[in-house]
Amino acid sequence: MAYGVMEEIFFLHRELGRLFNEKVYNHALSARLSNVYSEVQIAVSFKDFCKNYYMDAVASNGAVFEFKTSEAIHARHRSQLLNYLLLTELRHGKLVNLRPETVEHEFVNTTLSLADRTSFSIDDSRWHSTLGFGTAEKYLVIEILREWGSCLDIALYEEALVHFFGGSELVLGNVDVILDGAHVSKQLISFCAPRIAFKLTMFDHDAASYRKDLARFIQRTQLQAIQWINIGRRQLRFETINQTSGRNV
């Protein structure tokens, strides 16, 4: 199947050249192949939150083709396609970059199922409740992960939390950065309450160095605490970083 689709993509690259945008190649491919559908929607929802993604092209037997017009294929392109595969529970996809003189293409595959990604342990041994992030908020995060699973694009989880914590106007704000007692600048962060921030990461290991950086961060601001949520493949961890943590750096 991939061979047949790629044959058409090579033809389009020869006929159209390499200067058009992704949508042109996408529409041209679906016009030439009746079993390829373009701009296929993925709707991701939880309660009243919804986000839509659009896959460039899907062959009738369930393989995803994602077009790029970039100098080279990057890790973020692979992550984007993997996100689509996990959300649809499809197994095989192919990245196709049409900007180089010769078409660049590579497979992105996964064996992870939703059942795999919703099977994780929870570690809250270093967490404690704060204003804006108590037991209800912790269980909201757990519910989202039980519904969607781990390993998805971190921006999806972040957008959902911003939505449920009150929207970007309420959640996103600046904090003053202080060094040697003097104001240095401002930093945009996510708040769950006044002087209480939250931070989402996706490490698959015990991120001791990142924990130290969070402690440094809080010491150089007027935050009272940072609620750190780490979504690992096999473990969801909640940890509260406060001023006491920062003084240990």
Global pTM value: 0.93
CA atoms within 13 A on the CB side of 196: 13
**CATH, range 2-111:** 3.90.320.10
Residues forming beta bridges with residue 51, ordered by sequence position: 44
Cβ atoms of 79 and 109 closer than 8 Å: no
Q: Which part of the chain is CATH 3.90.320.10?
A: 2-111
Residue whose pair of structure tokens reads 């993925």 in the numeric block: 42
pLDDT by residue, tens only, the chain of 249 residues? 888 999 999 999 999 999 999 999 999 999 999 999 999 999 999 999 999 999 999 998 789 999 999 999 999 999 999 999 999 999 999 999 999 999 999 999 999 999 999 999 999 999 999 999 999 999 999 999 999 999 999 999 999 999 999 999 999 999 999 998 899 999 999 999 999 999 999 999 878 999 999 999 999 999 999 999 999 999 999 999 998 765 544
Residues forming beta bridges with residue 237, ordered by sequence position: 123, 230
